[in-house]
Structure 1
Amino acid sequence: MTSFALLSFLGTLAMVTATDVKPASKWVECESPFTQVGGRCVHLEHSTSGTWHEMRKFCQDLGGDLVNLSDLQFFGDIILYIESLDLPSMHFWIGATDEATEGLWKWTDGSAVRMGTPYWANTGASNSQMPTGGTEQNCAMLDVNMHYYFNDFFCTQTYIRPICEK
């Protein structure tokens, strides 16, 4: 009976371990200036900044758009990539906005942005979860001051850099 219990335990352990293993990212070829991150082609621009609309046009001129971070694994991959570059503190525009309809956040491809944890930052003494900017703040960025969680911000701010995806 002891060997059966041990085999049963080892089988359960193997199943748990197998379900925790993440599949290897699919390798894709990316044209310059894009780099493969998490199986997708991205360009993290660290020298050009501008408004959300200017940076979206910047990405479109490269043949892409502002990055869509709807996939949690890819969101984590992007954060690890940013941190690996050892850049000075920078915020980054991403492809989410609620400009069309207040409170209805959409990615540039029209798909819905997931609200709440684990994407949006918490802020203030009341620890309110973003987005909290109302009708004034309609564009999403990765906020360096909030550990690169999403933050809704003024679309007209010009010091934020884009993350483009192709």
Structure 2
Amino acid sequence: MSNCPALPEAKAKDDQTVKSRLVKRSTDCPNRWSLFNNRCFHYIPRPMTWAQAEKNCQSMGANLASVQNIQEYQEIQRLIRAASYQSKEAWLGGSDAQEERLWLWSDGSRFQYLNWCNGQPDNGRSQQHCLQMNYGADKCWDDLSCGATRPSVCAKKV
């Protein structure tokens, strides 16, 4: 029976499921945002400082993205590749500007998933307090001067 074609009724039900998911996706997130893990993500290609990028995200009701697990990180990487056709470095919402080596997400979530590059964060010249992603060949995290300009990724809860 496993090789039998789907009955028309079953196919119609599957089509409705797909349609309802598409409608849900478009109503949960604003235009050009992507839904993943009950959050909406948006890649901003225009380079800005970390503070400018966070302010820009806040103007859209979001924050620079926090990353809670490897699946979210891979989804954010996919968004960047889809928009830029590259694995560009970009700001995420991590910072230790308030206290050295105490990394916090700008959205207030816990800093539990880590994807630092080997030897990072190193706080180069004691001036690197903001988190960029897709750094180096391993496309991992690096701490960078917050005044550097990068594209960014915003996120907000659905």
Q: Same fold (TM over 0.5)?
A: yes
Structure 2 unaligned segments of length 5 or more: list them.
1-23
Q: Would you say the 8 A contact 1:38–1:77 is kept in 2?
A: no
| Runs ≥4 residues deviating over 6 A | none
2:61 aligned with 1:63: yes
Matching residue of 2:139? 148
Superposed CA deviations along residues 109-134 of structure 1, whole A, max 9, x for unmatched, are 33442375xx1112xxxxx2x10125
TM-score (norm 2): 0.72
Secondary structure, counterpart of 1:45 in structure 2: strand
In 1, the alpha carbon distance for the partners of 2:29 and 2:147 equals 30
In 2, the alpha carbon distance for the partners of 1:63 and 1:110 equals 14
Q: What RMSD, in angstroms, separates the aligned Cα atoms of the two structures? A: 2.3
Shift of 1:78: 1.6
Secondary structure, counterpart of 1:75 in structure 2: helix
Query: Which structure: greater strand fraction?
Result: 2
Q: Would you say the 8 A contact 1:105–1:112 is kept in 2?
A: no
Q: Would you say the 8 A contact 2:104–2:111 is kept in 1?
A: yes
Q: Would you say the 8 A contact 2:96–2:102 is kept in 1?
A: yes
Task: Write the letter of the residue equivalent to 2:53.
Answer: M
Q: Would you say the 8 A contact 2:35–2:41 is kept in 1?
A: yes
Task: Write the letter of the residue equivalent to 2:68.
Answer: S
The farther-off stretch of 102-111 and 72-81 is: 72-81
Matching residue of 1:16? none
Shift of 1:98: 0.2
Q: Which of these residues, 116, 121, 131, is aligned with residue 117 of structure 2?
A: 121
Matching residue of 1:21? none
Matching residue of 2:9? none
Secondary structure, counterpart of 1:49 in structure 2: strand
Shift of 1:74: 1.2
In 2, the alpha carbon distance for the partners of 1:74 and 1:98 equals 21
Q: What is the total number of aligned residue pairs between the two structures?
A: 131
Secondary structure, counterpart of 1:70 in structure 2: coil
Shift of 1:36: 1.9
Shift of 1:139: 0.2
Shift of 1:79: 1.9
Structure 1 unaligned segments of length 5 or more: list them.
1-26, 123-127
Identity among equivalent pairs (%): 28
Kindly report which structure 2 residues correspond to 1:49-88, keeping only aligned pairs within 5 A, or say none: 49-88=47-86
Secondary structure, counterpart of 2:74 in structure 1: helix
Matching residue of 1:43? 42
In 1, the alpha carbon distance for the partners of 2:155 and 2:87 equals 21
TM-score (norm 1): 0.69
In 1, the alpha carbon distance for the partners of 2:52 and 2:102 equals 22
